Structure 1
Amino acid sequence: MINFIQEINNYKKISKLSKDRFNRYLNCLYHFCDFLADQLHCNPDEVNLDKIYQLKNGSNIIAYKPIDAGIIDHYLMNQVKNGYSNLESSTLAMKSFFRFLANNRNFPNIVPHMRFKLNDYIPAAKSIRILSRHELLRFLHSLISHSDNLIRDTLLFSLLLTTGCRISEITELKFSDLNFEDEMITLLKTKNKIQRVIVLRKGFGALLRQYQSINELKDNECLFPGKAKSIPITRQFASNIFKKYLILANLPDLRIHSLRHSFATHMRDEGIDLLTLMELLGHQKLQTTLNYTQSYYTRNAHIRIKEHEEFYRKFRSRK
């Protein structure tokens, strides 16, 4: 028998997925098991994937048939109402799990026979609103006026605004990732798992060294520690204080990721070429970089700002 719950437990043992993704997939699989149990009028631990259909001769069961793609289609259609994120996780969980069964239990992989197509439910892309230069000044004024930890918050948002890094890339930093003399950061943990080097604005090396000394932080400790010096602040914590300063500045409610788009747009606005911008952002595809900037027109095309010229020169000199 191919007992669903037992196979989920076996799947747990060999999965190499990241912790967050794996937990999402498990939740989806347990939910699907509950769905099957409801359809079969049995307990979840009694669901056997090779005995989903009963073939009867009168009232006598003469054979069983295994689960097929139609049931998964039916289940996923019921999940559409719960939003695309949930639908995507459910679909990918099915693909991962039934691939596992095919490889480890010689159970037919029915997913390729599904009629349900996830791409049919991809929501229309929403343009991400950025902060204009004037709004950035209002935001920073709000931060300076209301912060309970001015040095930390100023440094955190200055790094986000001047490097274009993802919030996770900044919050995960340790002092051992910094080169104070050359004013560079080595990003070890990135979204695409490719390390890259970020050039800091002039003077940031000395500021970061002073910040480390004031807070008595060791090289193996976090740049932005949370409850313990070895544990960084969370993305949610950073997002909450970002929203706090937006509200106090009477600015629209934005995601903290909009700062990365703001960086990209302002850089493009000042004439930086797309290939350089793509490398700064750590993108692997030029189209991704275009998506960050193409909905904005270029202003001040002939204005040259000294600080940015120095930034570009320093960035190019390391190549």
Structure 2
Amino acid sequence: MSTGGPLEPRATVEAMTLPAALTVPLEDFCVHLRADLRRSPRTVTAYRTDLESLFDHAADNGVTRLAEIDVSALRSWLADGRGAAEAPATLQRHWASARVFFRWACAEGLIGVDPAARLKAAKVPRRLPRTLGVDQARRLLDDAVASASTDDSPQGARDAAILEVLYGSGIRVGELCGLDLSSLDRARDTLRVLGKGSKERTVPLGDPGWRAIDGWLSRRSEWQTASSGQALFLGARGARIDPRVVRRMVHQHLRSEPGFPDLGPHGLRHAMATHLLEGGADLRTVQEILGHESLATTQIYTHVSTERLRRAFNQAHPRA
């Protein structure tokens, strides 16, 4: 499940003590997410945070058993969120967490009736993702490559390769950090990527990306340690690079470019998808490259492209 909104709970739960009849199903559900559905730690944390908030709300109202949580209790919990001015995307994530949990609880025989089946989702206004223009993406990458050529440490080469791979392939930051040396298929100019739900896919990478990878591999041994294993990208201490390091690095490079939006790695993924569609790629191909399960998720990029065309038309056409 996409986590949509921020992961922070609406109230601190560290001092919260819930009845065992509520905590035991929650722990079993989290095991199910990790072991059966192979959800990421970040997604499991989002579910846990939402459900702890729900159970805390229920316990405050005298509910001590899972079967006592009905649709009225769920609506009351969501209403609390609206009263606290939580973002629509966060409310939608609360709704989704409740729907998935109670569907599982019903299937496991923990409850007889699914109280979340009658819940209506919060409406989330569609916001177009911020992205880079083609010229901006080219400048960002050219500057990173130029910087790498003057860097005495391997960091410049590594960062240039990461930026080229993120934009060149459109993979997620977690997928990039999970790349191994064996993920590189030079004969086909592709990367083998392990995506959400442990689903493997193959994505193409262009010549600039391969040149940047070769530049990094020529320096990789300077950071390599016993803990490096087969990881493609390493941190300064030799272990597999952490997603937080990648996010911080991407932000730093974008902030160094005057007038550029302050995007993270996902912004480069948005840019790649938008530029593919603007260049004539069909939606199904972009969906496959990005690893989207639903075509509707990919369609947001058609709106980005259309909005950009509309702005250009309005600025340039005398009868716009």
Q: TM-score, normalised by structure 2?
A: 0.70
Structure 2 contact 132–268 (Cα < 8 Å) conserved: yes
Largest Rg, 1 or 2: 1
> Which whole-Å CA distance do the structure 2 matches of 1:221 and 1:167 have between them?
18
Structure 2 contact 180–230 (Cα < 8 Å) conserved: yes
Partner of 1:130: 131
Aligned length: 274
Q: Give the direction of change, closer, same or farther, for the CA distance of 1:89–1:109 in structure 2 (3 Å limit).
A: farther
> Which whole-Å CA distance do the structure 1 matches of 2:293 and 2:174 have between them?
18
Q: Alignment partner of 1:25: what SS? A: helix
Q: Aligned match of 2:79 in 66, 77, 80? A: 77
Partner of 1:201: 206
Question: Shift in Å at residue 69 of structure 1?
Answer: 1.7
Q: Give the direction of change, closer, same or farther, for the CA distance of 1:138–1:165 in structure 2 (3 Å limit).
A: same
Question: Which aligned pairs between 1:90-239 and structure 2 lie closer than 5 A?
Answer: 90-112=94-116, 114=118, 116-118=119-121, 121-140=122-141, 142-143=143-144, 144-145=146-147, 149-187=155-193, 189-191=194-196, 193-202=198-207, 205=210, 208-209=213-214, 211-216=216-221, 220-226=229-235, 229-234=238-243, 236-239=244-247
- Asked if 1:243 is matched to 2:251, the reply is yes
Q: Give the direction of change, closer, same or farther, for the CA distance of 1:14–1:173 in structure 2 (3 Å limit).
A: closer
Question: Shift in Å at residue 215 of structure 1?
Answer: 1.5
Structure 1 contact 142–246 (Cα < 8 Å) conserved: no
Structure 2 contact 102–116 (Cα < 8 Å) conserved: no
Q: Give the direction of change, closer, same or farther, for the CA distance of 1:295–1:173 in structure 2 (3 Å limit).
A: same
Q: Give the direction of change, closer, same or farther, for the CA distance of 1:177–1:245 in structure 2 (3 Å limit).
A: same
Moved more, 195-204 or 72-81: 195-204
**Structure 2 alignment gaps of length 5 or more:** 1-18, 310-320
Q: Larger relative contact order (C-alpha < 8 A, sep ≥ 6)?
A: 2
Q: Give the direction of change, closer, same or farther, for the CA distance of 1:69–1:173 in structure 2 (3 Å limit).
A: same
Q: Aligned match of 1:4 in 22, 45, 48? A: 22
Structure 2 contact 106–114 (Cα < 8 Å) conserved: no
Q: Give the direction of change, closer, same or farther, for the CA distance of 1:87–1:195 in structure 2 (3 Å limit).
A: same
The residue identity in structure 2 corresponding to 1:231 is R
Q: Aligned match of 1:39 in 61, 73, 94? A: 61
Q: Deviations over 1:104-138 (max 9, x none)?
A: 45532242564x411xx232111123222332244
Q: Give the direction of change, closer, same or farther, for the CA distance of 1:287–1:7 in structure 2 (3 Å limit).
A: closer
Q: Give the direction of change, closer, same or farther, for the CA distance of 1:90–1:182 in structure 2 (3 Å limit).
A: closer
Q: Deviations over 1:255-300 (max 9, x none)?
A: 432222322333333334444444433445544444213432598x
> Which whole-Å CA distance do the structure 2 matches of 1:275 and 1:5 have between them?
42
Structure 1 contact 178–184 (Cα < 8 Å) conserved: yes
Q: Give the direction of change, closer, same or farther, for the CA distance of 1:225–1:259 in structure 2 (3 Å limit).
A: same
Q: CA RMSD in A?
A: 3.4
Q: Percent identity?
A: 22
Q: Deviations over 1:164-191 (max 9, x none)?
A: 223332222110111234432111x113
Q: Give the direction of change, closer, same or farther, for the CA distance of 1:275–1:39 in structure 2 (3 Å limit).
A: closer
